[in-house]
Structure formats: structure tokens, C-alpha cells
Structure 1
Amino acid sequence: MKNIFVLVTILGHLPVILSAKRKGSDNMKHILIVEDDNLLNKTLTYNLELDGYTITSVLNARTAAESLKTNIFDLVLLDINLPDGNGYDLCRLIKPEHPDTVVIFLTANDQESNQIRGYEAGAVDYITKPFSISALQRKIKAMFAMSSIVYAAEKKEIAVSVDCPENLIISHDSKWTSEALFNLLDNAVKYTPSGGKISVSVVQWEMYVEVKVTDTGKGISESNQAAIFRRFYREEEVHDQQGVGIGLYLAREIVTRQGGYIKVVSELRQGSEFSIMLPVR
């Protein structure tokens, strides 16, 4: 499922674990911070606890390894240069025993070779210091929001697949583009029946990069396809589903403000295709 992480990297380095068997989205998330800079360690702990996460913070690799023996973590924020080892080796220890645990490196090592080494060790993101604490908080929130979609898809036994080139890079607002993609995926899971399929594909055209979300859901009549992008619009037959009818409106606003557009192809009872078209700059 390597391309899943590539897709996430393109859309803002958000580690969306589409293949992982995650716990229910209502469970409090447990984060392990492995950082030998005491001030940064305390700052991360303070801010992430304010966000409602359970935090275990350690200053070295040995204590981190001990914590991993007795706890299951949703996320590990991992420094590379530790006083008693390095983060690469610790990451390689984590992945075989805890394949669903997401690892993000936080490091001053900004060389490309180090980044490649980090991804090869099993991390899904590599953040260089100094970095914005608030930006990291947004990434983590987005990651866990996406995990709720994964959980909902698993409950309905919906198969999710991703087809994405590994060498594709686009310029965009990662925070807001990820929000738009979240809204499309959330709708796809919500309106696809149990046992259905959702596919995500990324294609580079001459002037745009297309991120397409295809589902085998209820479909949308041609007469309603323009209306679904209106704020607070909801079709009569979906009022039993949670929501206020703002997700597609926001997705279109987000993409339009970046010089792109969203298109939809759909038929009743034949599923839908939503495409985010982002300009190549």
C-alpha cells in the first residue's frame, strides 16, 4: 500500500492509513513523543494534551523501547539524533511489532538522503526543525480525522484502493486541499452501501493534476448535480444521514480559490466520480 502514503505526501504529508485496522474513532488517541530536547519535548506535550490526546513523552531511545513493549500508540513523534541511539533504528523496531502505528520524524537533519532513509525505515512523514507547532497539530488532527473515515469504511466492509504515481509533486495549500479531499471521501463512505468500493486515483494532465474519488454509491441525478455544491443543500432521500450539507460547498470553495475546480460525473444507482482539478504551476 505504498502509494497510499505517496498520495498523502502529495496532498500535504498527511499520513492517511487506508489499510490499517484502526480502533474506533471515538477512542482517545495515544501519542509517544521521543525527543531529547527537553524544552521541545515539554512544549509538544503541553500543546498536544490541550488537543485532547494521551501523551507519553521520553527523552531517549531506551525508554521509548520500554514504553513500546507495554503500550500501543497511534502515533510516534520521533527525533533522529538521540543520546543513546538513533531514530532510524527505533523506527525499524516499531514497524514489525506495531504495523498500524504511524511514525513521523522530527529532526534537524534536512538532507534529502536522510529523508529517504527515514521513509525507508517506515515513517510516513519527515519534518525538519525548526517547525511550527500549530502546523504539526493541524497535521495530526487531519490524520486522525482521516482515520475515522477508514474506520467507517471498515465497518461497512467497503474496499478502498489508491492509484497514484510516486514521483508527482504539486503546489497547493496542503491544509485546505486535505480538507477538500476529506469531504469527498467522507461523502463517498457515507453514501456507498455495505460491500461497495471506493477508489482514489491521481493523474497529471498538461495543465491540471486530477485527484479522483470514485464510489459505487447511490449516485446523483443529473438535475441535482449543480445543486449539491450549494451551501446547506441536502437531497431529500439522504436526510437520515448525519450532516448539514456544507461539505461539497466547502470543497469547491477550497479548490476554486487555488485556481482549480471540482467536477462530478454520476448516475442514479451507478455511483459517482468527483474530481479535484488542481492547476500545475
Structure 2
Amino acid sequence: MIELLDYDFMRRALVAATFTGLAAPAIGTYLVQRRLALLGDGLGHVALTGVALGLLTGIAPLLTAVLVAAAGAVVIELLRTYGRTSGDVALAMLFYGGIAGGVLLINLAGDSAATLTSYLFGSIITVSSGDLWLVGALGALVVALAIGLSPQLFAVCQDEEHARVSGVPVQAYSILIAVLAAVTITVAMRTVGLLLVSALMVVPVAAAQQLTRSFRATHLTAMVVGLLAALGGVVTSYEINAQPGPTIVVLALAGFGVATVAGWLIRRQRRPIQT
């Protein structure tokens, strides 16, 4: 276990996993609260187009992925609010357009299927020092805003009409949630992969809901579950020579299973004894 830290790429991967494990549930809690759990999937496909654009133009793929995914997040939020297209149809268009554009541009860039796979499912050996600085900065920003603006973001997610009447700028905070989700997608793509990052935004939240009653407790517990799954997944993937993304998601699902059983036992003990 300790010898893992002898390798530079493993140290970078573990640091990236730390930011990923904290940031994904931090913003994912709000997506689940708004019943937009699949938004992460749609933005992941859009981020793939950003990655491909970076490979084609020679710009850092992580940077172009952030910009393209953020633009996609704003578009989907505006369509959801003002457009005549329903939310699920708009998400479907993100799914199809993002994956088609990404594959097409990667082919034009002349990159191999291995390059595409590393972004889709994560690869611990591809986390460079430059990527790590950007991942760290963006991950810290997401966590800081998700926790610091928790009262406002919760108000928007819980009841938009009440928040609007109370003077909360609902549209601005809705766009902020979508953009933070897009940023989180790009933060996680090196470790979890673009196709699976949505699971790390949702599954830890679902696990936390089995154990907690308040929003704040759910928020913090989900971040702990996400952190443990991300770090455990990176270490396990190295030990068994597997891709980190699927391993992280499997551990997160296992955590959900444990939390479900534990929550059931706790609720059973709290029930009053009938005589």
C-alpha cells in the first residue's frame, strides 16, 4: 500500500481523486434535489466534444472541456427555462450531439481509440502535473461555492417559486449549479471518466440519504462517501490493473448497498415498541 506513493503518477492520481470525490457529490446533491440527476451524463458527453476540440487544436483538452461543458450547461438551463423543449428532450440532444461531435473531432484529430477510452473511463497514468493544478483549483472552487452558497442553492432547489418571491435570483443560481456541474465533470474525467462521472455525482448522495434526515447532513455525508469511493477506487484499480472509473463507481454502489442496510437497521431500532 505504502509503495504506491513511490510513483509520481499515483500521487497525482490520488490528489486528483481527492478533489473529484469531494466535488462530485458536493454539486451532485443539488442536482438530485432538483431531480436533474441525469444532467451530469449529458454534460459529460458535451465535455467529450471539448476534449476532442482541444486535441484537434493543440490546446489543453482539460481547459477546452471546461469551456465547452460550461457553455453547454448554460444552454441546457436556458432551454429548460425558456424554451419549448422539455428537459428530458434537451438532455437527449446533449447526449447525442456531444458524443457525436466528440467522436467526429477525435477522428479528425487523428487520435486513437485508446485516447478516447482514457477520457471516457478514466486513466490514472494520464494525470499530468499541469492537469493536477487545474483540477485542484477547479475542484476547490466547486467545493467552496457548493458549501459557501448552500442556503441560496438549497432554496432554489427546494422551491423555485418561493425562492423567487423571497428575492433570490433563481435564474442566476440555477445557471451557477449547471456550470458547477460542468466544471465538476471536467475535474473528474481523468480519474472517473466522462461516461461514469455522473454516477459519482448521484450514488454517494443516494447512499447518504439512507442514513441522514437533514439536507446539510446528507450533503456532508455524500462528500465523505464520494471521497472514500474515489480514493479506494484509484488504489484498487492499481492493485488489480483495471481502469479507475468503473472501479470507483462499483465501490460507490457497494457503499450505497451498505448504507441501505445500515439505514434500514437504524430506522427499525427507532420504531417504538408496540405492546
Scaled by the length of structure 1, the TM-score of the pair is 0.32
Structure (1 or 2) with the greater strand fraction: 1
Which structure carries more relative contact order (alpha carbon 8 Å, separation 6+)? 2
Scaled by the length of structure 2, the TM-score of the pair is 0.32
* Structure index of larger Rg: 1
Structure (1 or 2) with the greater helix fraction: 2
